[in-house]
């Protein structure tokens, strides 16, 4: 793919504009347990064709070519906290330190060259208390402080009282908040960038998010308000109201609940597409409200009001997502092909 020297090949491929921040990392959210183990030079990953081991050096080379805005350093994050053995923790921090050192040294060596590693590097923080990874954090402080642009945090609760030299760095949380309340708590704990997997989960479940931040200060009922609307519910079959009153998203401006409910029951992919448009718009407004609340110095009070006004969990899933119908159709097609192959084989045997 032809590009200019300073352009990102990744941005050219994905078609994103310059205002969109592109991140490159080795760990997806939610993560998938691998039957393979990491080694000193390779990381076990899941691909579209199964599990494999991926060389750390290949990852660094890919980063040089793709030029993402933020490059998440490779980390040995293969165990589940909070009870790994001390030996496993030492091995994880040793490998993570080795890999981040290799990455940062390359960034220094290639300055001004065509294969320059221009991405901002976020160093991974192993999900254990600071005391158990002191040697690794001291390495980041003393040797590579100016080269580390931010921290990638896998356990926000273990990320407490960081060393002073690292405390002012931007923090990316690769965790799994399941509700907006958990998102607010992570922001309160100092996270600057977050992944929000429950947007996709809500969309797949046919749930239209319905909340705002700050929440209304007056509670107009005994029960807290739900965080979303289950569009599978048959009560919406003749409801001509938008997914959320006052919402300015495309789905709410052009369509109503009855149409969305019809699309879901008809298994039309457009239903989930419109749902995703709406849910992303709600989260955009949510974070705009959070930024305004922080600027006003009222985040703590607004969080308390939000927790009183809304339920703690999203509505329960009652319908099937688009992947379910796709997989069921694929299996049915596969079964039809097997039956056809069996019939052809039988005919061939008869003719023989």
DSSP result, 52-107: EEEEHHHHHHHHHHH--SEEEPP----S-TT---HHHHHHHHHHHHHHHHHHHHHH
**Would the pTM count as exceeding 0.75?**
yes
Q: How far apart are CA 209 and CA 229, in angstroms?
A: 6
Judgement on whether residues 154 and 91 belong to the same structural domain of the protein: yes
177: DSSP letter: -
- The two tokens of residue 201 are 């989960």
Assess if residue 332 is contained within a domain. Answer: no
Judgement on whether residues 170 and 243 belong to the same structural domain of the protein: no
CB atoms within 10 A of CB 222: 5
Assess if residue 187 is contained within a domain. Answer: no
CB neighbour list of residue 79: distance below 8 Å, 6 or more residues apart = 88, 92
Assess if residue 157 is contained within a domain. Answer: yes
CA separation, residue 32 to residues 20, 27, 28, 51, 91 (Å): 26, 9, 8, 10, 21
Spell out a b/e string for 99-131, using b for 16 or more CB atoms within 10 Å of the CB, else e: bbeebbebbeeeeeeeebbbbbbbbbbbbbbbe
Assess if residue 2 is contained within a domain. Answer: no
Tally of domains in the chain: 2
Residues listed for the chain: 352
Judgement on whether residues 212 and 155 belong to the same structural domain of the protein: no
Judgement on whether residues 83 and 140 belong to the same structural domain of the protein: yes
263 contacts 271 by C-beta, under 8 angstroms: yes
Judgement on whether residues 45 and 81 belong to the same structural domain of the protein: yes
Judgement on whether residues 46 and 162 belong to the same structural domain of the protein: yes
Judgement on whether residues 141 and 65 belong to the same structural domain of the protein: yes
Decide the pairing of beta strands 70-72 and 120-125: parallel
Judgement on whether residues 30 and 127 belong to the same structural domain of the protein: yes
Judgement on whether residues 216 and 152 belong to the same structural domain of the protein: no
Judgement on whether residues 165 and 208 belong to the same structural domain of the protein: no
Task: Give residue 22's domain range.
Answer: 9-175
Judgement on whether residues 157 and 262 belong to the same structural domain of the protein: no
Assess if residue 229 is contained within a domain. Answer: yes
Assess if residue 104 is contained within a domain. Answer: yes
CA separation, residue 270 to residues 58, 197, 236, 247, 315 (Å): 38, 20, 17, 19, 22
183 contacts 199 by C-beta, under 8 angstroms: no
Assess if residue 3 is contained within a domain. Answer: no
Q: How far apart are CA 269 and CA 321, in angstroms?
A: 10
Helix (H) or strand (E) holding 208: strand 207-209
Per-residue pLDDT of the chain (352 residues; tens, 9 = 90+): 666 666 788 888 888 888 889 999 988 777 788 888 888 899 988 888 889 999 999 998 888 888 899 999 998 887 655 577 888 888 888 899 889 888 888 877 665 565 667 889 999 998 888 878 888 888 888 877 788 899 999 888 878 777 787 888 999 998 889 999 999 999 999 999 998 989 999 999 999 999 999 998 776 667 899 999 999 998 998 999 999 999 999 999 999 999 999 999 998 999 999 999 999 999 999 999 999 999 999 999 999 999 999 999 999 988 877 766 555 555 554 555 545 555 445 555 555 4
71 contacts 116 by C-beta, under 8 angstroms: no
Assess if residue 285 is contained within a domain. Answer: yes
Judgement on whether residues 205 and 321 belong to the same structural domain of the protein: yes
Please tell me the number of Cα atoms within 13 Å of 340 on its side-chain side: 6
**pLDDT of res. 216:** 87
């Amino acid at each position: 793919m032809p590009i200019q020297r300073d352009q990102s090949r990744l941005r050219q491929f994905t078609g994103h504009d310059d205002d969109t921040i592109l991140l490159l990392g080795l760990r997806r959210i939610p993560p998938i347990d691998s039957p393979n183990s990491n080694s000193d030079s390779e990381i076990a990953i899941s691909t579209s064709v199964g599990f494999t081991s991926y060389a750390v050096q290949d990852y660094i080379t890919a980063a040089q070519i793709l030029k993402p805005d933020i490059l998440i350093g490779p980390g040995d994050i293969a165990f589940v906290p909070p009870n790994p053995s001390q030996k496993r923790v030492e091995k994880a921090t040793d490998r993570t330190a080795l890999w981040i050192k290799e990455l940062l040294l390359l960034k220094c060596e290639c300055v001004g060259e065509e294969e320059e590693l221009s991405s901002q590097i976020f160093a991974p923080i192993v999900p254990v208390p600071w005391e158990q990874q002191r040697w690794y954090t001291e390495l980041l402080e003393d040797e590579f402080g100016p080269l580390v642009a931010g921290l990638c945090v896998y356990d926000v609760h273990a990320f407490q009282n960081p060393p002073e030299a690292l405390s002012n760095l931007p923090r990316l949380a690769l965790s799994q908040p399941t509700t907006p309340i958990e998102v607010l708590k992570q922001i309160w704990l100092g996270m600057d960038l977050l992944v929000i997997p429950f947007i996709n989960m809500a969309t797949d479940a046919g749930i239209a998010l319905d909340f705002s931040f700050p929440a209304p200060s007056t509670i107009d009922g005994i029960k807290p308000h739900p965080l979303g609307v289950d569009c599978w519910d048959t009560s919406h079959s003749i409801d001509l109201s938008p997914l959320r009153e006052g919402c300015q998203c495309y789905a709410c401006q052009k369509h109503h609940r009855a149409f969305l409910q019809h699309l879901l029951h008809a298994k039309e992919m457009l239903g989930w597409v419109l749902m995703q448009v709406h849910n992303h718009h709600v989260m955009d407004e949510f974070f705009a409200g959070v930024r305004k609340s922080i600027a006003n110095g009222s985040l703590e009070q607004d969080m308390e009001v939000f927790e009183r006004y809304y339920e703690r969990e999203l509505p329960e899933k009652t319908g099937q997502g688009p992947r379910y119908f796709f997989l069921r159709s694929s299996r049915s097609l596969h079964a039809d092909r097997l039956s056809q192959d069996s019939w052809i084989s039988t005919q061939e045997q008869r003719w023989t």
